[in-house]
Amino acid sequence: MVICKEVTRMYRSGDKDICALDHVSLSVKQGEYLAVIGKSGSGKSTLLNMIGLTDIPSSGDVELFGRNTKELSEKEKARIRNKHIGYIYQNFYLEPVYSVFMNVEVPLLVAGVKKSEREERVLEVLKQVGLEERMKHKASQLSGGEKQRVCLARALVNCPELILADEPCGNLDSENTAMVMDLLDDLHRKGITIILVTHSEEEAKRADRILQLKDGRRMEK
């Protein structure tokens, strides 16, 4: 499903070139659960951005769903992000004045799904994350753990094949961390491919396989 070949990402900072990723290669099979670990600045999120089509390599190749991402138009990338990839972020990125229902509904609106189907699918995923009774509340009224479950529901609403989770428990307490990680485990059992970025080795141990990054390079783990 995902193949990275010698992926390098350089950034310009003032008069210096910064190497965020340094010739990183990996492959992720359909249905696999991969954890990417490393300290802050190791290149974890940069790698996830390459796979999630929100950034492009300076050199090397990323293949996603059998396509080289260099061959994709911006329109094709947007379609793949909307229909095939679900994103879970550390900082949630919810619209605070929208209701829970409206926040989860957004990807379906972008995809042009009709209203009756939108309502059915949003309710289904809110039940899955245990928030159906909170669907009329504004996002600003939720706890951190509830916000992350809304983020997870939003990621699931278009029935993605791939979940990209970038430090999803970074802002959560231990109880809510356990709840979110249990939900990811359940998705994995259902056959969804998951790539989890985390600094927590305890969270990473839930995955099938662990990839460690240090200073933009892949380390043996």
Q: Where are the domains of the chain?
A: 33-53+74-219
Q: Check: CB of residue 109 under 8 Å from CB of residue 127.
A: no
Average pLDDT in the chain: 92
Is the whole-model pTM more than 0.75? yes
Handedness of CA 123, 185, 82, 150 (dihedral sign): positive
pLDDT tens-digit map of 124-183: 999 999 999 999 999 999 998 899 999 999 999 999 999 999 999 888 889 888 988 999
CA atoms within 13 A on the CB side of 64: 25
pLDDT tens-digit map of 55-69: 999 999 999 999 999
Q: Check: CB of residue 10 under 8 Å from CB of residue 58.
A: yes
pLDDT in the model for residue 220: 59
Q: Length of the chain, please?
A: 221
Q: What SS3 state is found at 72?
A: coil
**Rounded Cα gap, residues 159 and 163, in angstroms:** 10
**Rounded Cα gap, residues 3 and 66, in angstroms:** 9
**Rounded Cα gap, residues 131 and 205, in angstroms:** 27
Residue 200, Cβ neighbours under 10 Å: how many? 16
Query: What's the whole-number mean pLDDT along residues 195-219?
Result: 93
pLDDT in the model for residue 59: 95
Query: What's the whole-number mean pLDDT along residues 115-131?
Result: 94
Q: Which uninterrupted H or E stretch holds 201?
A: helix 201-204
CATH tag for 33-53+74-219 (out of 3.60.20.10, 3.90.209.20, 3.40.50.300, 3.30.930.10): 3.40.50.300
Q: What is the DSSP letter of 134?
A: G
pLDDT in the model for residue 156: 92
